[in-house]
């Protein structure tokens, strides 16, 4: 076998027919990862991966039924891994090795999945292009002069380039869905509270969620099946009964009402992106869905709300990196100067920018005017989604207004960079589930279609996404450099 199978389901079938084994899959993935030319990986843990693969082979021989047993995967380096460095893409945590693993890692370990290593990301997950990493920008395998999207760009590229069968990322304002769209893979953000955040380096705690990158909608549901569930270590997780997330994948969309918000087709959207998304909507209509024009009039306010709440929570979370307890320490003549030197050297410019914004929004005299007001508008945005979901089963939109842009093109224009998340961040503000899947190419680069469902209705979201995927071949397209 020269390369990895395309999907988890294909690999699982090969494993059970004894046509390959977990160790062979791990070695194939490791060879591809070591040959990576996109700066995808911050660390590859060969011996750990091979040990996990051997253990998976023992489980498979004993009849293990988990579809993830023996499947090689990639972990965004903001997710804690016991005994394996976790840097969050930052110099301030360059030498940090967690004493425990995140709950999501423990659940994948329990399923027998094989972790290959840690992937590159925007520092502390702050970015939309993966150019903010302290360890260099990630390149898009479709065109190496283009960004892969962020902040989970490394995880997206690991899947797009055939170096892992799935990957985990985190999504605070679109950091799974947007890079999925720009690299031509499937990326999914669960409902807030579906997945434990325990052991994940905190960025914006009321927005962060862990989710998968995969090569198919079904694979996404398989990974989510392993991740979902109450965790006593994370009070935000919901005690919901387990469910079969794949139960509706084959039902199609006939008779479903799909909302199309006019505010998600804006001036400045690339024509090729709009054309691909309109074609996708027409395909869903041909399959029997009813397209319903809806309005999410507060979408325009989402960007302002997000860039008040997110930096405010980040400034509180990142205050712990003070050079005293863990991470980088740069000595100064006194404690205050030690703080300044440690943070000055340890944090990159985007992290500093957001910490300053957040500290200002939380400061005396401005807290009510900015942070509290943003939280009130957040409630209004969620209520608007609630009203729309009284009329429709799901909402379908573009994922990103553009295809992958050139590395360096927006790095000195923060506002232009922030606008990349305009279609994804309302989902985080509202705590809703969303998935991006390929819906075509524009100028030879992937375009993403976003499906949004109501809270805890991931099965409905997967149903719509699977129906579209089944009717098209866009998800089978691969970057030539990864062939």
Question: What are the sequence ranges of the domains in the chain?
Answer: 8-255+478-482
What pLDDT is recorded for position 415? 76
Identify the bridge partners of residue 170 per DSSP, sorted by sequence position. 210
Phi, psi for residue 292 in degrees, rounded to 5: -120, 120
What pLDDT is recorded for position 483? 40
The catalytic position among 128, 129, 133, 151 is 151
What pLDDT is recorded for position 474? 96
What letter does residue 474 receive in the DSSP assignment? Answer: G
At 175, list the tokens. Answer: 């950091």
Percentage helix, strand, coil for the chain under 3-state DSSP, each rounded to 5? 40, 15, 45
What pLDDT is recorded for position 481? 62
Taking the CA atoms of the chain, what radius of gyration do you get in angstroms? 21
Any catalytic annotation for residue 151? Answer: yes
- At a CB cut-off of 8 Å and minimum separation 6, what does 291 contact? 258, 260, 281, 284, 285
Report the sign of the C-alpha dihedral through residues 140, 144, 146, 152, in that order. Answer: positive
Q: How many Å apart are CA 53 and CA 195, to the nearest integer?
A: 25
The catalytic position among 76, 118, 139, 189 is 76
pLDDT under 50 in the chain at which residues? 482-483
The catalytic position among 45, 128, 129, 175 is 175
What pLDDT is recorded for position 239? 95
Predicted TM-score (pTM) of the model is 0.96
At 40, list the tokens. Answer: 């995808």
**Cα–Cα nearest to 410, from 137, 187, 189:** 137
Any catalytic annotation for residue 175? Answer: yes
What pLDDT is recorded for position 2? 86
Calculate the average pLDDT of the chain: 96
pLDDT digits (tens, 9 = 90+) for 341-372: 999 999 999 999 999 999 999 998 889 999 99
What pLDDT is recorded for position 3? 93
- Report the CATH fold assignment for 8-255+478-482: Amidase signature (AS) enzymes (3.90.1300)
């Amino acid at each position: 076998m020269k390369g990895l199978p395309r999907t988890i389901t294909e690999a699982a079938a090969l494993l059970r027919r004894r046509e390959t084994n977990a160790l062979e899959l791990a070695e194939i993935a490791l060879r591809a990862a070591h040959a990576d030319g996109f700066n995808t990986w911050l660390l590859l843990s060969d011996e750990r991966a091979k040990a996990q693969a051997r253990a998976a082979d023992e489980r498979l021989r004993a009849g293990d039924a988990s579809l993830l047993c023996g499947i090689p995967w990639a972990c965004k380096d903001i997710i804690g891994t016991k005994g394996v460095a976790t840097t969050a893409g930052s110099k301030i945590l360059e030498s940090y090795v967690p004493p425990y693993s995140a709950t999501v890692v423990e659940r994948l370990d329990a399923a027998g999945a094989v972790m290959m290593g840690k992937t590159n990301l925007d520092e502390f997950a702050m970015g939309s292009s993966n150019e903010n990493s302290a360890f260099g920008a990630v390149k898009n395998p479709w065109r190496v002069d283009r960004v892969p999207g962020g902040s989970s760009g490394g995880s997206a590229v690991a899947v797009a380039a055939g170096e892992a069968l799935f990957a985990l990322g985190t999504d605070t304002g679109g950091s799974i869905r947007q890079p999925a769209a720009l690299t031509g893979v499937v990326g999914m953000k669960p409902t807030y509270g579906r997945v434990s955040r325990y052991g994940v380096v905190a960025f914006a705690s009321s927005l962060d969620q862990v989710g998968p990158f995969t090569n198919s909608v079904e694979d996404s549901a398989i990974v989510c099946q392993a991740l979902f569930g109450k965790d006593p270590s994370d009070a935000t997780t919901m005690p919901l009964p387990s469910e079969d997330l794949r139960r509706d994948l084959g039902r199609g969309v006939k008779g479903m009402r799909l909302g199309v918000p006019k505010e998600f087709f804006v001036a400045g959207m690339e024509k090729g992106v709009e054309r691909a998304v309109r074609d996708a909507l027409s395909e869903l209509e041909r399959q029997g869905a009813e397209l319903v024009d809806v309005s999410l009039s507060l979408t325009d306010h989402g960007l302002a709300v997000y860039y008040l709440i997110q930096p405010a929570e980040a400034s509180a979370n990142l205050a712990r990196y003070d050079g005293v307890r863990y991470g980088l320490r740069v000595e100064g003549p006194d404690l205050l100067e030690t703080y300044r030197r440690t943070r000055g050297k340890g944090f990159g410019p985007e992290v500093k920018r957001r910490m300053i914004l957040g500290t200002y929004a939380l400061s005396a005299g401005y807290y009510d005017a900015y942070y509290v007001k943003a939280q009130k508008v957040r409630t209004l945005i969620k209520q608007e989604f609630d009203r729309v979901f009284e009329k429709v089963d799901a909402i379908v939109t573009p994922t990103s207004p553009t295809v992958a842009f050139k590395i360096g093109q927006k790095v000195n224009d923060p506002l232009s960079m922030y606008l990349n998340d305009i279609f994804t961040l309302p989902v985080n503000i509202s705590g809703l589930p969303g998935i991006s899947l390929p819906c075509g190419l524009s100028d030879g680069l992937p375009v993403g279609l976003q499906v949004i469902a109501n809270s805890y209705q991931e099965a409905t979201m997967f149903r719509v996404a699977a129906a579209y995927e089944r009717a098209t071949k866009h998800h089978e397209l691969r970057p030539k450099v990864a062939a």
